[in-house]
Amino acid sequence: MPKHAVIIGRAGQLGTELVREFTARGWTVTGFDRRALNITDPVAVEECLAAAEPDVVLNAAAYNQVDVAESEPLAAYMVNGLAVRNLAVACRQADAQLVHFSTDYVFDGTAGRAYLETDAPHPLSAYGVSKLAGEFYARAYEDRNLVVRTCGVFGPAGRHTARGNFVEMMLRLAGQQQTSNQPIRVVEDHVASPTYAPELARLTADLVERGVTGVVHGGGEVALSWYDYARLIFRCAGLDPVLKATNEREYRTAAKRPKYSALANGVAAAAGIAPMPDLETCVRRYLELR
């Protein structure tokens, strides 16, 4: 009998790809969007997972508004922290494995190199703290838990979600520049490893099928500044807008962000899982699907 995966947050960038990937691998897949299951409701979560009888529950739902979280930390904590406890408790009761997703923002970015799973977290923001709380809840209640930390996710579903992604934002700003004549300003003093959602879904399914548990990094293979990432996007899209490098001091945001938060996928590599393609290949694939 095929194994059953429940995918929470199925309408998001990653949720969409998890549904596609696990279905393609022959799993029985049941997806829930926020309307079908709000994970902040512990009774609804427990009833839903008890009825579904899944082997694995993958939680791709999240509160991702990093700057807004500074003015509403409780809202972030409810979804990214306490709701993960709801899922972990219900998974334990339903004898299902919990796969949860976290972020590079659990780190403070001071290491100056890509972070490994063994590095100690030290978040700088309400969002980062809420995501770290979610990691702890996933690990506290469910023994076979897998926590996959990722970074700068972009996937085809981001064209339609309220939050979108960095590629969509750059393409939108380039379009607006034709009338506004304003340069596009992107920070050059923050480095990340942008991650293509279909590749993250593939890596996750590989981890699950190999029985890897614990904290695992699933970031894109290339570490670069957001400014260089914007340049790469425009090159791949055949666009040439006026782009200006800025920095944290000039471009203030409500939330403090780690300066260097690329992730190194040490555990996945040690498990023999194939690396993701380079970032340019991923961006070109993304643009072909638009």
Ligand X SMILES: NC(=O)c1ccc[n+]([C@@H]2O[C@H](COP(=O)([O-])OP(=O)(O)OC[C@H]3O[C@@H](n4cnc5c(N)ncnc54)[C@H](OP(=O)(O)O)[C@@H]3O)[C@@H](O)[C@H]2O)c1
- Return the residue matching tokens 């306490």: 82
Q: Check residue 130 for interaction with ligand X (CB under 6 A).
A: no
Q: Is 49 exposed, middle or buried (0-12, 13-18, 19+ CB in 10 A)?
A: buried
Tell me the C-alpha to C-alpha distance, in Å, between residue 208 and each of 5, 75, 144. 11, 30, 10
Q: Using CB under 6 A, which of 153, 167, 268, 273 touches ligand X? A: 153
Scanning 5-13, 23-31, 207-215, 259-267 for contacts with ligand X by CB under 6 A, the matching segment is 5-13
Which residue from 75, 57, 53, 56 is spatially nearest to 66, judged by alpha carbons?
Answer: 75
Binding mask 20-59 for ligand X (x = CB under 6 A): -------------xx---xxx-------------------
Is residue 229 part of the annotated active site? The answer reads no
Which residue from 255, 24, 280, 241 is spatially nearest to 127, judged by alpha carbons?
Answer: 255
Q: How many CB atoms lie within 10 A of CB 239?
A: 14
Going 80 to 82 to 86 to 89, the CA torsion angle's sign is: positive
Q: Using CB under 6 A, which of 60, 124, 184, 224 touches ligand X? A: 60
Q: Check residue 128 for interaction with ligand X (CB under 6 A).
A: no
Q: Using CB under 6 A, which of 57, 58, 61, 236 touches ligand X? A: 61
Q: Which of 115, 127, 229, 286 is catalytic?
A: 127
Q: Check residue 226 for interaction with ligand X (CB under 6 A).
A: no
Rounded to the nearest whole angstrom, what is the least distance from the CB of residue 181 to ligand X in the complex?
A: 29
164 touches 119 (CB < 8 A): no
Q: Check residue 14 for interaction with ligand X (CB under 6 A).
A: yes
Q: Check residue 115 for interaction with ligand X (CB under 6 A).
A: no
Residues 59 and 173: their CA atoms lie apart, in Å, by 31
Would you please indicate which residues are annotated as catalytic (active-site) residues? 127
Residues in contact with ligand X by CB under 6 A are: 9, 11-15, 33-34, 38-40, 60-64, 79, 83, 101, 103, 150-153, 161-163
